[in-house]
Amino acid sequence: MKFHRFFVAGSMCAMLAGCAGMDPNALVQSGQLATQAAMLTDADVRSLSDKSCAQLDSENKISAANSTYTQRLNKIAAQLGNNINGVPVNYKVYETKDVNAWAMGNGCVRVYSGLMDLMNDDEVRGVVGHEMGHVALGHTKKAMQVAYGTSALRSVAAAGTGVIASLSASQLGDLSEKFVNAQFSQQQESAADDYSFDIQKKKGLDPSGLVTSFQKLASLGGSQSSLTMLDSHPPSAARAKHIQDRIASGK
């Protein structure tokens, strides 16, 4: 364990500009924070997600309960279900032109109205199922660990007692931004695609919207969409074909 901790501290040191000039005590503390991040439990992730989601909710305009956006999302929520691995899901729409959606380990699912303007309900359902897949498969836990570790390293003063630091508003905003912009691996994206397909098939829904959602996102490119599912390889065309092949085979 001692070797592991020194390795983590050394790796994080290499990532920091001007590392040689830093206080050795600060470097040790940075290494401890990085280790803490890697050891975040499911409960820790849910706690951080609660704080992060609340922060983002306070910074965005949430669609009213009687709005068309919320009514559409409620319909999709009823189809996909209200829990992820037993964790209750809380669905809301952010009114913004941005094209995005994400989910956190505490069941917080947020869909941007820009995405809903671009897509029909079947396509939105495919995207939401994909984001829920990242939670169900443990990808968001890893993303939160990375976001927490990076945010902590940017301010050693964030350290507190226990695994989770007492984050200031600016630190929490930094963590939230890092999580929302987190990049998933090719394997994780493909697994989330399959999760969305599988959950829709299990519930007797048509998963073809996942295919056309890829096509629409690909037509936007990176300039208008901040949806992380668009930013990985294989490209959208290959991922669309994979789902088309599964639809054709019935498996």
Give the list of residues 6+ apart from residue 13 with CB closer than 8 angstroms, or none. 19, 22, 27, 30, 31
Torsion on CA atoms 188, 192, 198, 199, rounded to nearest 10? 140
Per-residue model confidence (pLDDT) at position 182: 85
Give the list of residues 6+ apart from residue 204 with CB closer than 8 angstroms, or none. none
Please tell me which residue in 95, 123, 131, 177 is annotated as part of the active site: 131
Q: Are 126 and 110 in contact (CB under 8 A)?
A: no
- CA proximity to 113, closest of 67, 55, 49: 67
Per-residue model confidence (pLDDT) at position 30: 45
Tokens coding 98: 């941005």
Q: pLDDT digit string (tens) for 49-95?
A: 999 999 999 999 999 999 999 999 999 999 999 999 999 999 999 99
51-78: b or e for each residue (b if 16 or more CB lie within 10 Å)? bbbebbeeebeebeeeeebbebbeebbe
* Catalytic site includes residue 177: no
Lowest-pLDDT choice from 18-22, 91-95, 164-168, 229-233: 18-22
